[in-house]
Chain A
Amino acid sequence: MTSAPPRRRPAISAATPEHLDTHAMLAHAAEVAARLLRADGAMVYLVADGRMRFAVDAGIQNPEAQQLIRDLKLPVGVGLFGHAVATGEVVVSRDYRRDKRFPHSPVADRIVMIANMRSMAAAPLIAEGEVFGALGAYSSRIDDFDEAEIALLRALADHAAAAIANQRLIERLARSQEELERRVEAQRSLGEIAARISAIREPDDVLQRTLDEAVRLLDADGGRIELVEQDGGLHWAFGHSAIDLPFEREVGERLDVADEGVSGRAVADRRVVRTGDYLTDPSFAHAVAPDRYIRQHGIRSVMSAPLIGEEGAIGSLTVHSQTREAFEPADAELLGVLASHAAIAVTNARLYEQLRERIDAQQAMAAISAEIAELHDPAAVLQRTVEEALRLLRADTAIINPLGDDDALLGWPIAYAPADGRADDIPVRIGEGISGRAMAERRVLRTGDYLSDPAFEHTEELDKYIRRRGMTSVMTAPLVSSAGGLGALTVQSARLNAFDEGDAELLRLLADQAAIAITNARLYDKLGEESAALARQTDSQRRLLQINERLLSTLEPASVLELIADGLKSVVWYDYLGVYRAEHQEGLLRPVLARDRNAEAVLGFPIPRGQGVTWWSVEHREPVLLNDALDDPRVIQIPNTPDEEEAIIIVQLISGEEVIGAMNIARRGGAEVAFSDADFELVQLFASQAAVAITNARLYYQLRQRADAQRSLAEIAAQIASLHEPQTVLDRAVADAARLLRADRAQINLLGEGGTHLDRPIAAAPVPPSPDDVIVPIGSGIAGMAAAQRRVRWTGDYLTDAEFPHDEGDARIEGQGIHSMMSAPLVGPDRLIGTITVQATETNAFGSGDAELLKLLADQAAITLTNARLYAELEESERRYRHLVDNSPDIVWSVDEAGLFTFFSDSLEARTGWKAEQLLGRPFTTLAGEATLASAVSAWERLQSEPNREQRVRLDLPLPDGRLAQTEVAMTGTMVDGRFAGAHGSVRDISERERLEGDLRGQAAALAASQERAHLARELHDSVTQALFSMGLTLRTLELLFGVDDEAARTKLVELRELQKDALAEMRALIFELRPSSLESDGLVQALRTHATAVQRRTGLVIVVDAEPIDRLALPAEEALYRIGQEALHNVVKHANASNATIRILREGDRVRLSVTDDGAGFEPDQVPRGHLGLIGMRQRVDLVGGELRVESQPGHGTIIEASIPPDEVELAE
C-alpha cells in the first residue's frame, strides 16, 4: 500500500515524523544523544520513497542550516547518514568535510559548513531486519567522539528503533482492527440491504437502492446503473445523484458490452472490474463519450460489477471516485456481492410483476367471459375487449375491425380504445398489412417495427397511416367462429418491440372471447326472428313430448285419452271432441270419450256402420276436414244434438294395420271458426300419437297385471319380515280389516288403565287416529260389549239396535252417519288387550263371515301385542336393574392393624341399619357371616403379606335384625412408615342385584314358556286338527261314493286309515313336546327324527336327519338341542320357502354340534328385528347350557343354524 486516500485512511505510518508519538520519541532520542555524547547537536533521518529525509534535530542554531536541513532529501548512500543507512553500520567521521569514504551532497556539505560541524557519527535505525533511518550526532571539534560515546550512540539508535518498531506494530494492529470493523459494518449493511431490496417489488427501486448503498459503503463519489437492452448494448439507466448524469448522451444510447469502459468489460467478463486510474488504464477499451465524462468530472478510480440474472447479464453496477486507486480487492468483493443481491431482487421483482400481469389478464378474461354469458349486445362486449386489450398489453391503441360480407375487406372499426383518434382509421384489404395478413392466415401476427418489417405486404396507404399515428409495434389476432372469419382485433404501440409471445397469446384469447360474443349475439338474433307459426309448432311438439312422458306413468287407456284431449285443446282450440272405438264385428263406432258440447248425447249413441262422415273416414282410412259440415251429404245428425253450423275434423286411430277407432273435433259457427290446414295436420299428428299411446297403454296395462302377480309374492315376503314391529302390524291389521271387510273405518283400541274402558284408537284406517276419537267404557257400545263378552259382536244398524247399551258416544256415531259396526276382542294368553272395530255407513254391511275374518285379524294383533309387551317388560326390568346397581352407594370403611373398625361412611346406616358407633372398635369378623368368615380371614391374611394388592371377597353381612345381606368387599392395606398399619375398603350390597338377576331369569323362563305354549297351540292347529278335518271330508266323500263307485271308495278307505295314523302320530308328538322328560327315554336323535317325520308328512318339506351315533348327553343339553332343532325347522317352514332341509348331529372333539340347513330364501342376519323371538329363544337356550349359536344366512342362499354345546354339559351325562 502506497498512497491511501487521506479521508478514509488517516496517513499514519511508523516512519512518519508528523505522528506525534513517533516524532516525540525521535526528538527525545536526538536530545539524549546530543547530551550524553556531549555533542553540539544530533539529528534523525528517515527513509521514505528510497530517499533520506530529515526528521528531527537537536542543537542546530543557524537559521539557514535549519531551513536547509528541513527540506533535505538525500538518496540512500549519500552523506554520512546515507552511508550508515546503506551499510547498516555505525559510521564515524573525524572530520566530515574531509572524509572521502562516502559521496558528498553539496547541500549537506553546505549545512555542515555553516553549522560548523566537524566530527560526526551516525547509527542506523534497524527494526525487523530493515533499516528505516539513522540517528547521528555532530561536534565542532575534530575527532570528538571516543569509543564509549560511539557505543552509546549505537545503543540509543537501537533503543529508538525498537520503540518505533513497537509503535508501528501497535498502529498496524489498530489499522487491522479498523479494517475488521469496516468489514463487519459492510457485512451488516449488506444484510440490511439484501433484506430491504428483497422486499421491493419494483425492479427500478431495487437498483436505485442498491446503487445508493454501494456508493455509501464504498465511500465513492458517485455511481450509475446501466442495463442491457434488447439491442445487446448497455444503456445508462440512472445515476447515484444529480452529478451522475449520462455521458452526454440521450436516454437509450448504448455502450458496447464487449469492449467499452469498465462496465462493458465487467458485463462481458462477468466479473467485477476496477481501475485505479481510468484514463491511463489500457486493460479495457476506451470510448469517446465515457472518457470525456471521466475527464470532465476528475474521476480517477472506477469499479463496476455485472448484474447477472437467471438468463444472463442484465446490466452493471458502477461506482467511481476522484481519488486515485480508491478501491481495493475487498471493495470489489463487496460490490460484487451487492450486485448479485440486486440481480436476484430484480429477477424476483420482474417475476412478481409478470405474475401480477398474468393474474390481471386472467381476471380480465374471466370478467369478459362472464359478461359474454350475460350480454346479448355484442357492442358492449367488443368495447370491453378492446379496453382490456389496451390495458393488459400496454398498447396505445386497440381496435376491432369487422370482416366485410364479401370476406375481402376489414371494415371501419366497430370497437375502439382509447376513445379518441378514431376518425383516421382506414379499412384494410385481406392480405395487406399486419391485420389483413393475420386475417388471411387466421393466426396472430405481430411486428416490433412495422415500417421496416419486410415480413408482410406494405401498402403506401397503410404505411402512411402507421407513420401518421407514430406507431411502431403492431399485433393482430383474427376473430374466427365456427362459421368463418368475423373480424380482427389489433393493438398498436409507439414503442419498439412492444409485444412478445405472451402478449400474442393473450391477444388470441381476447379475440376468441370476442368471436364467441359475436356468434352468440347472431344466434340470439336469429332466435328472436323465429315466426309465431314456428313457435306454435315448437309448442305442439313440446306438448306431444309431454304427453308421451306422462303416458309412461299412466296406466289406464282412459286417462291416456284424457291427456291427449287436454293436450290437443291447448294447441287446436275446439268446443267438441269425441273418441270412438271401432267394433268391427258389431259394426259399431262406440263412443269412449266425449268432451264439452253435447258430450252426453254423443256418449249415448254408438254410430252404426255406414252412417255419417266418421264411418266414412274409418272405412276409407282418410282424414276429413269439413268447414261447411251442414252442406256435406255424408254428415248425419247425432240424436238429441242441435242442428247447427260447425267445422269438423275427423281422423282415424290406427294401430298397426288396424283402424282401432276415430277421433273428431268440432267448432260451432261459420267461416270465422274454420280449421286451417295447419290445424288439420296437428290433429292428425295428435291422433297418431293417441293411437300409439292407446296401444301402448293397453300393452302396459296387461304387462302390469302380470308384474303385479309376480310382485305380490315379493310384497308378501317383505310383509312377513316386517311383522315384528307392533305398530306396523297393528296398522296393517286395521288396513286389512277396512279393506277386506269393505268398512269405512277400522280401528284398534287398547284396554285402558284400570281395565274400565277402551282408550282412544292406537291404530286406525283409512283415517288415522284423531283427537276426536272417543273413549269407550267396557260393557257399552259394540266395542265395549265385545270386550266385556270376549267375543265378536256386530250390528246392522247400531243406533236402532236395542241389544247394546247405548251411551253419549251415539251422537258421534250418528254424526258420522255410521250404521253397521262390528267389533272383535283382542285376547292375550292371560288377559284382554283391547278390541278391533270396523264401521260402515251402509246398513247390514257385515255378516258372520266377516266376523270370522275380523276374529282372525284380532288374534293376530293380540299375539303381536303380547309378544311386544313381554319384550318391553323384559327390557324394562333390565333397565331398572341397571339403574339400581349404578346408583347403589358403597359403604366405605377402615380398620387398624389389629383388624378393629376405625371408620364407616354415612351410607352404613342407610344400607345396613347398623349405626357406626355400634361397630367402631369391634373386629372386622363381626361383619362376616359364618359361611363367609373363613374367606374374610384369609383375605385379611393375604392383605397383611401383600398390602398393596387389592382383595375382593363376597361376604354374608349380618344385619341388626339377624338377616344376612349379600355383599362384595374390596380392600387394600394401609402402610405407615413402611409397616402394615391396617386396611380400608368398600362394601357393596349385592342382594338387590342377586334378586334382580333371579327375576330376570324368571322373566326369561316365563317368556320361553309363553312361547312354548304359543308354539304348541300352533302345532295342534296345524297338525292334528287338519288331519281330523281331512278325515271328516274323506268320510263325506266315502258316503257319496258308496254305491256309485265302490273301487274309488275302497281307495278312500285306505287313505282314511293313513289319515288316522297321522293324527295319532301327531298327537303323540305333541304330547311328547308337552313332556320333554320323554326325551330321556328316546334320546335326542330319535326325538328329532320323529319330529322331522311329522313335519315332512304335514308340509311336504323334505327333511334329512343326518346323525352319527352319539352318547346320551345331559338332559338340559339334549332338551336345548331338541328345542333349537324344532324351532329352526319351524322357521324353515314358516319363512324360508325351502324344498329341502337337513338336520345334522355330530360330535366334534368334546363338543356336540347340531345344525339345521335349508335351501330357502335366506335373510340378512344383521337385519333381523329385535323382536324376532325365534332366534332370541334359541340363543337363550344355548346360553343356559353355556353353548354357542351361529346363524349363517344371506338372501337367496339359504340358512344354517348351528348350536354347539361345550364339554361340561356333554360330560355331565356320563
Chain B
Amino acid sequence: MPPSPRPVLPSPPRVVIIDADRRVQQSLADLLGVGGEVDVVGRAGDVRAALQEVERSHPDVVLVDPRLPDIDAGIALIRGLGTAWPGLRIVMTGWNDTDGHSQGDARTRYVSKGGSPEEFVSAIVACCAI
C-alpha cells in the first residue's frame, strides 16, 4: 500500500469507540488521543451503550468491532446507526487477516486489528475528509 498523504481537517474528528473488550476500548482511546488528530468522545461495550453514547455525543465517526460479542449484533448495530444518523462515518475493525488495507467507500471503512496501529487514525481522518 502506497502511503497516502493525510488530509488536514479544520478540527479533529470526534470518535466513539465501540468494542466488547474494555481493555481494547481503553488502549484504542489512549492511542487515538495521544496524537491529537482524533478526539475520542465516548466508549461503549455493547449495543445498547453504543446507541446511547452516539445519541449523547453526536460523533463524526464510530470505530466499531462488530463482535459485540456476536457479529450479528454488531452488523445490526451498524445498520441501525446508518439509518438513524445518516451522516455518521463508520470504521469497522476486527480480526480477519486477509490483508491490511483500510479502504471502502465514504461511509464505511475497515481496519484490521492485525495491522499497524497508525492505520486506525488514518482511516478515521480519511473518511471524514470526503
Residues A712 and B51 in contact, CB atoms below 8 Å apart: yes
Residues B30 and A720 in contact, CB atoms below 8 Å apart: no
Residues B69 and A1134 in contact, CB atoms below 8 Å apart: yes
Q: Are A852 and B98 CB-contacts (below 8 A) given A847-B103, A1100-B45? A: yes
Residues A1026 and B24 in contact, CB atoms below 8 Å apart: yes
Complex interface: chain B residues within 8 A of A736 (CB): 75, 79
Residues A1034 and B27 in contact, CB atoms below 8 Å apart: yes
Residues A723 and B72 in contact, CB atoms below 8 Å apart: yes
Residues B20 and A1022 in contact, CB atoms below 8 Å apart: yes
Residues A1098 and B21 in contact, CB atoms below 8 Å apart: yes
Expressed in whole angstroms, the Cα–Cα distance for A715 and B24 within the complex equals 27
Q: Is the interface of A mostly helix, strand, loop or mixed?
A: helix
B6 at the interface (CB under 8 A from A): no
Other-chain residue from A708, A739, A1031, A1032 in contact with B80 (beta carbon distance below 8 A):
A708
* Interface size bracket, B side: 35 or more
Residues A1040 and B34 in contact, CB atoms below 8 Å apart: yes
- Closest Cβ of chain B: how far from A243's Cβ, in Å? 108
Q: Are A1055 and B26 CB-contacts (below 8 A) given A713-B47, A848-B98, A849-B101? A: yes
Interface string of B20-49 (1 = CB under 8 A from A): 111110111011001100000000011110
Interface 9-residue window, one of A520-528, A574-582, A656-664, A853-861:
A853-861
Expressed in whole angstroms, the Cα–Cα distance for A705 and B54 within the complex equals 13
Residues B75 and A1099 in contact, CB atoms below 8 Å apart: no
Residues B113 and A1029 in contact, CB atoms below 8 Å apart: yes
Expressed in whole angstroms, the Cα–Cα distance for A1052 and B98 within the complex equals 31
Residues A852 and B72 in contact, CB atoms below 8 Å apart: no
Interface string of A559-573 (1 = CB under 8 A from B): 000000000000000
Complex interface: chain A residues within 8 A of B14 (CB): none
Complex interface: chain A residues within 8 A of B21 (CB): 1022, 1026-1027, 1030, 1098-1099
Other-chain residue from A719, A720, A851 in contact with B98 (beta carbon distance below 8 A):
A851
- Closest Cβ of chain A: how far from B108's Cβ, in Å? 7
B8 at the interface (CB under 8 A from A): no
Interface string of A1008-1047 (1 = CB under 8 A from B): 0000000000100110011101111110110011000000
Expressed in whole angstroms, the Cα–Cα distance for A847 and B83 within the complex equals 24
Expressed in whole angstroms, the Cα–Cα distance for A1018 and B76 within the complex equals 20
A254 at the interface (CB under 8 A from B): no
A242 at the interface (CB under 8 A from B): no
A742 at the interface (CB under 8 A from B): yes
Expressed in whole angstroms, the Cα–Cα distance for A850 and B104 within the complex equals 7
Complex interface: chain B residues within 8 A of A1030 (CB): 21, 23-24, 26-27
Expressed in whole angstroms, the Cα–Cα distance for A1099 and B23 within the complex equals 9
- Closest Cβ of chain A: how far from B37's Cβ, in Å? 11
Complex interface: chain A residues within 8 A of B81 (CB): 712
A211 at the interface (CB under 8 A from B): no
Q: Are A739 and B113 CB-contacts (below 8 A) given A792-B98, A1036-B31? A: no
Q: Are A1033 and B84 CB-contacts (below 8 A) given A740-B75, A742-B105, A1022-B20? A: no
Q: Are A712 and B22 CB-contacts (below 8 A) given A856-B66, A1032-B117, A1037-B27? A: no
Complex interface: chain B residues within 8 A of A1041 (CB): 34
Residues B27 and A709 in contact, CB atoms below 8 Å apart: no
Residues B70 and A709 in contact, CB atoms below 8 Å apart: no
A394 at the interface (CB under 8 A from B): no
Complex interface: chain B residues within 8 A of A1052 (CB): 30
By beta carbon, the residue of chain A nearest B75 is A736
Q: Number of A residues contacting the other chain (C-beta, 8 Å)?
A: 57
Residues A712 and B77 in contact, CB atoms below 8 Å apart: yes
- Closest Cβ of chain A: how far from B47's Cβ, in Å? 5
Interface string of B100-113 (1 = CB under 8 A from A): 01111100111011
B129 at the interface (CB under 8 A from A): no
A775-803 CB contacts (< 8 Å) to partner B: 791-792
Expressed in whole angstroms, the Cα–Cα distance for A488 and B120 within the complex equals 96
Other-chain residue from B20, B31, B110 in contact with A852 (beta carbon distance below 8 A):
B110
- Closest Cβ of chain A: how far from B15's Cβ, in Å? 14
Complex interface: chain B residues within 8 A of A791 (CB): 98
A468-517 CB contacts (< 8 Å) to partner B: none
By beta carbon, the residue of chain A nearest B109 is A849
B57-90 CB contacts (< 8 Å) to partner A: 66-67, 69-73, 75-81, 83-85
Expressed in whole angstroms, the Cα–Cα distance for A384 and B119 within the complex equals 94
Expressed in whole angstroms, the Cα–Cα distance for A1134 and B21 within the complex equals 13
Complex interface: chain B residues within 8 A of A850 (CB): 104, 110
B12 at the interface (CB under 8 A from A): no
A912 at the interface (CB under 8 A from B): no
A718-753 CB contacts (< 8 Å) to partner B: 719-720, 723, 732, 736, 739-740, 742
By beta carbon, the residue of chain B nearest A708 is B84
Expressed in whole angstroms, the Cα–Cα distance for A848 and B72 within the complex equals 21
Residues B51 and A713 in contact, CB atoms below 8 Å apart: yes
Q: Are A856 and B109 CB-contacts (below 8 A) given A709-B80, A712-B79, A1134-B70? A: no
Residues A852 and B30 in contact, CB atoms below 8 Å apart: no
Expressed in whole angstroms, the Cα–Cα distance for A1025 and B23 within the complex equals 11
Expressed in whole angstroms, the Cα–Cα distance for A550 and B96 within the complex equals 48
Residues B30 and A1037 in contact, CB atoms below 8 Å apart: yes
Residues A848 and B80 in contact, CB atoms below 8 Å apart: no
Expressed in whole angstroms, the Cα–Cα distance for A710 and B118 within the complex equals 34
Complex interface: chain B residues within 8 A of A1026 (CB): 21, 23-24
A1059 at the interface (CB under 8 A from B): yes
Residues A719 and B110 in contact, CB atoms below 8 Å apart: no
Other-chain residue from A709, A1059, A1062, A1100 in contact with B51 (beta carbon distance below 8 A):
A709
Complex interface: chain A residues within 8 A of B118 (CB): 1036
Interface string of A697-717 (1 = CB under 8 A from B): 000000001101111110110
By beta carbon, the residue of chain B nearest A718 is B76
A764 at the interface (CB under 8 A from B): no
A47 at the interface (CB under 8 A from B): no
- Closest Cβ of chain B: how far from A479's Cβ, in Å? 67
Residues A847 and B84 in contact, CB atoms below 8 Å apart: no
Q: Are A1022 and B67 CB-contacts (below 8 A) given A705-B84, A708-B80? A: yes
A340 at the interface (CB under 8 A from B): no
By beta carbon, the residue of chain B nearest A848 is B101
Residues B23 and A1027 in contact, CB atoms below 8 Å apart: yes
B92 at the interface (CB under 8 A from A): yes
Residues A716 and B77 in contact, CB atoms below 8 Å apart: yes
Complex interface: chain A residues within 8 A of B112 (CB): 852
Expressed in whole angstroms, the Cα–Cα distance for A791 and B66 within the complex equals 21
Residues B46 and A1059 in contact, CB atoms below 8 Å apart: no
Complex interface: chain A residues within 8 A of B24 (CB): 1026, 1029-1030, 1033
Q: Which of B51, B112, B117 has the most CB of A within 10 A?
A: B117
- Closest Cβ of chain B: how far from A166's Cβ, in Å? 123
Residues B51 and A720 in contact, CB atoms below 8 Å apart: no
Complex interface: chain A residues within 8 A of B46 (CB): 1137
Q: Which of A711, A852, A1052, A1099 has the most CB of B within 10 A?
A: A852
Query: Contact residues of A with B, CB < 8 Å?
Result: 705-706, 708-713, 715-716, 719-720, 723, 732, 736, 739-740, 742, 791-792, 847-853, 855-856, 859-860, 1018, 1021-1022, 1025-1027, 1029-1034, 1036-1037, 1040-1041, 1052, 1055, 1059, 1062, 1098-1100, 1133-1134, 1137
Supply 24 A–B pairs (Cβ within 8 Å), ascending by A.
A709-B55, A710-B51, A715-B80, A716-B76, A720-B76, A740-B108, A742-B105, A791-B98, A848-B98, A849-B109, A850-B104, A851-B99, A852-B110, A855-B96, A856-B66, A1026-B21, A1029-B27, A1030-B21, A1033-B24, A1033-B31, A1037-B34, A1055-B27, A1099-B45, A1099-B69
Among all A-B residue pairs, the 9 with the closest Cβ atoms: A712-B80, A849-B110, A709-B84, A1033-B27, A716-B76, A1030-B27, A848-B101, A1026-B21, A1036-B117
Query: Contact residues of B with A, CB < 8 Å?
Result: 20-24, 26-28, 30-31, 34-35, 45-48, 51, 54-55, 66-67, 69-73, 75-81, 83-85, 92, 94-96, 98-99, 101-105, 108-110, 112-113, 117-118
Q: A713-B80, A852-B110, A1036-B117 are in contact. List 15 more A-B contacts (CB 8 A).
A: A708-B80, A709-B80, A712-B76, A712-B83, A716-B80, A740-B78, A847-B104, A849-B103, A849-B110, A851-B99, A852-B92, A852-B96, A855-B96, A1033-B28, A1099-B45
